[in-house]
């Protein structure tokens, strides 16, 4: 048989060896399972720990620490995204733990907060996202705000359980002492961390009363990190990897601080908790190679669809579109993939899955297509 590395065809095209299969491929495929809320407890006045149990014969979600799932609850038409809040090796079989914060007027979080939901049936789909621990030995600088505690907790639990050989600073931004949780668990991680390295948990409060008994740091968490750790050389930008998780403004501020300090984008990872207010991504079909990766990770059936025609709304958006109907519409769907803003839950799984940079929330609202419209 011809060796693919050396074979040249008669037209002198060099055929390269196929890449090795991605060992993580299963993690990138989304499984949709039904599950039951098996326990629920309050972590603070507005944040709940929710455990969902899926049936024993369900395909495993295989989430890595840092990834997320989507959860759909009764009465809600669309799911919402939630980060796995526990290291996978610490979860009981078929259980998935989440930290969910109440958003006033929010469909899913208000449903959850409105009584004991233990025993309720939900749909859980995942895993999604690329956020997670890298394999370097650089100092980990983790910065989380609010419910961003979830993904960072999973990451530091995973690092501790595997006794990884790295130092770690975990800065946690909250408003007041009443918003703090997992303090004892963080002290446990400090004690159980690899003995040759250190783990420090640093909560920073932005709205704590001036005359309260809080003697820890105050202000915005990213600015505290800058002033006390970056500017004073406690951490060295040549030897850190940053992991941010939480609300978009906190992440944007933190990324700007680190970029200004000269940290390369490769050393900054983040998981933005986008919500209904964030823009839906747009597909640039001139970059799309129809590899289907985005379709394999979408959490809802109609968010990302094959369209054959669009109605453009005065140049600033699409007012209507026509889906490809097998056996009815032409298979030559010149307009190709389209994201329906009304169905998209802003999980950005498709943006991360696309290997060709063809999907972005920053692209023009009238998507670029193969056939001009
Ligand atoms: C990758 C990813 C991971 C996430 N992980 C978590 C997590 O671990 N824990 C968690 O609690 N959340 C997380 N979120 C946010 C979560 O998906 C929901 O957006 C959030 O729970 C609100 O859902 P809801 O149904 O209650 O509100 P919705 O019904 O979606 O929104 C209701 C209204 O509230 C506004 N709104 C929505 N969110 C906020 C907000 N945060 N602040 C102010 N107003 C808002 C909207 O504009 C809308 O008008 C994550 C988001 C992403 C994208
Ligand atoms: S279109 Fe993309 S961002 Fe929107 S819900 Fe689907 S996968 Fe998520
Ligand atoms: S992942 Fe990107 S290139 Fe592949 S089908 Fe989706 S948009 Fe096209």
Q: For every one of its 373 residues, what pLDDT tens digit does the chain have, with 9 covering 90 and above?
A: 444 444 455 555 555 555 565 555 555 577 888 999 999 999 999 999 999 999 877 767 778 999 999 999 998 888 999 999 999 999 999 999 999 999 999 999 999 999 899 999 999 988 888 899 999 999 999 999 999 999 999 999 999 999 999 999 999 999 999 999 999 999 999 999 999 999 999 999 999 999 999 999 999 999 999 999 999 999 999 999 999 999 999 999 999 999 999 999 999 999 988 888 889 999 998 888 888 889 888 888 889 998 887 777 766 778 888 888 777 776 565 668 899 988 999 999 899 889 889 999 999 887 776 665 5
Cα–Cα distance for residue pair 111/73, rounded to 1 Å: 8
Which atom of ligand 1 is nearest the CA belonging to 101? 11
CATH topology for the 282-360 domain = Alpha-Beta Plaits (3.30.70)
- CATH architecture of the domain with range 139-272: 3-Layer(aba) Sandwich (3.40)
Q: Bridge-partner residues for 33, per DSSP?
A: 124
CATH 3.30.70 residue ranges of the chain are 282-360
How far is ligand 2, taken at its centre, from the CA of residue 278, in Å? 12
Q: Can you tell me whether residue 285 is helix, strand or coil?
A: coil
Asked whether 303 lines ligand 2 (CB < 6 A), one says yes
Of the ligands numbered here, which is closest to the C-alpha atom of 297? 2
Instruction: Enumerate residues 6+ apart whose C-beta is below 8 A from 177.
Output: 205, 208, 212, 214
Kindly report, as residue ranges, where domains of CATH 2.40.30.10 are found in the chain: 25-127
Taking alpha carbons only, the member of 157, 185, 156, 180 closest to residue 168 is 156
C-alpha closest to that of 101 among 144, 38, 164 = 144
User: CATH 3.40.50.80 occupies which residues in the chain?
Assistant: 139-272
Q: Is there a contact between 168 and 159 (Cβ–Cβ < 8 Å)?
A: yes
CATH number listed for the domain at residues 25-127? 2.40.30.10
Ligand with an atom nearest the CA of residue 351: 2
Question: Which positions ≥6 away from 238 have C-beta within 8 Å?
Answer: none
Predicted TM-score (pTM) of this structure: 0.85
Atom of ligand 2 nearest to the CA of 340: 1
Q: Which residue out of 304, 306, 338, 361 has the highest number of ligand 2 atoms within 8 Å of its CB and is therefore the one to mutate?
A: 304
């Amino acid at each position: 048989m011809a060796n693919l590395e050396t074979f040249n065809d008669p037209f002198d095209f060099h055929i390269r060896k196929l890449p090795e299969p991605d060992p993580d491929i299963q993690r990138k495929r989304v499984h949709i399972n039904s599950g039951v809320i098996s326990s629920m407890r309050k972590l603070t006045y507005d944040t709940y720990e929710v455990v969902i149990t899926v049936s024993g014969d369900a395909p495993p979600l295989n989430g890595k620490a840092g990834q997320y799932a989507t959860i759909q609850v009764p009465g809600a038409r669309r799911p919402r995204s939630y980060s796995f809040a526990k290291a996978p090796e610490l979860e009981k079989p078929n259980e998935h733990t989440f930290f969910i914060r109440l958003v006033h007027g929010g469909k899913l979080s208000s449903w959850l907060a409105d009584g004991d939901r233990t025993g309720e049936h939900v749909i859980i789909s995942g895993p999604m996202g690329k956020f997670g621990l890298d394999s370097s030995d650089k100092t980990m600088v983790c910065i989380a705000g609010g419910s961003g505690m979830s993904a960072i907790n999973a990451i530091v639990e995973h690092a501790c359980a595997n006794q990884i050989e790295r130092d770690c600073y975990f800065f946690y931004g909250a408003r007041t002492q009443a918003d703090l949780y997992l303090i004892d668990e963080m002290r446990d991680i400090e004690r159980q961390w690899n003995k040759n390295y250190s783990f420090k948990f640093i909560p920073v409060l932005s709205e704590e009363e001036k005359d309260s008994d809080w003697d820890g740091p105050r202000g915005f968490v990213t600015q505290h990190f800058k002033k006390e750790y970056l500017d004073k050389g406690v951490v060295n930008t040549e030897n850190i990897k940053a992991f941010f998780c939480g609300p978009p403004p906190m992440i944007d501020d933190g990324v700007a601080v680190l970029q200004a300090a000269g940290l390369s984008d490769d050393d900054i990872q983040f998981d933005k908790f986008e919500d209904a207010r964030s823009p839906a991504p747009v597909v640039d079909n001139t970059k799309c190679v129809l590899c289907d990766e985005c379709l394999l990770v979408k959490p809802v059936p109609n968010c990302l669809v094959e369209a054959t025609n669009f109605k453009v709304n005065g140049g600033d958006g699409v007012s209507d579109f026509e889906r490809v109907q097998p056996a009815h519409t032409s298979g030559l769907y010149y307009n190709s993939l389209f994201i329906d803003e009304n169905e998209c839950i802003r999980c950005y799984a498709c943006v991360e899955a696309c290997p060709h940079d063809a999907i972005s929330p920053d692209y023009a609202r009238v998507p670029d297509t193969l056939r001009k419209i």
